Amino acid sequence: MERSNPLADAGERELIDALRRKDMAALEQLLERCGGAMATLARSMLRDATEAQDVVEEALMRAYEAGPGFRGERGVRTWVLRITANLCRDRLRRRRFNAGSLDGPTPIEDAGLRFDPVGSWDENLDRQAMAERLDAAIARLPEDQREVTVMRHRLGLSHDEMCAALGVPLGTVKSRLARALTTLRHELRDWER
């Protein structure tokens, strides 16, 4: 029988308090609530399922260890996504240092992403093929633009949440989003017609 987590119905404040106490149940709850967003961000950024899984685990470990010092001003989700984003940046920097660059975006299966339609799509188009093409275009974006695009359009973060997660001003977030959108519009210009 599956044990129930005492923090399953806990509010944000209770979860933060439990994290501060280094309560293992809080870590489990963190994975439950934010694991999907962490994995989606890591896999979209790194395009490598194994490396992304390692980043998710490392991020959870860091959250657990840094828990006692967490003030909780900007929310747990933003905090763990910030840790995940920083770890992804470290990995990408290391890849560049090791002269290992991606020739092109890897397919969504290799990246460990799963097609999971959200909302309705009333046109007679192959939604999955379009999502894959869009994903390939996102994967080709420069790192900083890819980061904000994934956070905004894949994870649904607000501008304020993105500012907190990335540690950059609002103007920078908006500027990166606008540049990313310009590039995506150009790459997928046949969809604009």
Partner 1 sequence: MNERDDLRREGNDEPRWLRLAADLRAEPAPGTLARVRERLATREREPAWVRWLGRPVTLATSVALLLVCAWAGNTWIATTERARPDGATLVSALLDEDGSFGLGLESDAASPEPGADSGAVMR
- Binding residues for partner 1, per CB under 8 A? 24, 27-28, 31, 35-36, 38-40, 42-44, 52-53, 56-57, 60-61, 64-65, 108, 111-119, 121, 127-128, 130-131, 134-135, 138, 149-150, 153-154, 156, 171, 174-175, 177-179, 181-182, 184-185, 188, 191-192
Q: Which is nearer to partner 1, 71 or 189 (CB)?
A: 189
Question: Residue 75 contacts by C-beta under 8 Å, 6 or more apart in sequence?
Answer: 12, 161, 164
The C-alpha atoms of residue 54 and residue 56 are separated, in whole angstroms, by 5
The C-alpha atoms of residue 60 and residue 10 are separated, in whole angstroms, by 19
CB of 14 to partner 1, least distance (A): 19
Q: Which of 33, 29, 87, 82 is closest to 57 using CA atoms?
A: 87
Q: Which is nearer to partner 1, 40 or 78 (CB)?
A: 40
Q: Which is nearer to partner 1, 128 or 158 (CB)?
A: 128
CB of 163 to partner 1, least distance (A): 14
CB of 101 to partner 1, least distance (A): 23
CB of 155 to partner 1, least distance (A): 8
CA angle 24, 48, 118 (to 5 degrees): 75
CB atoms within 10 A of CB 41: 28
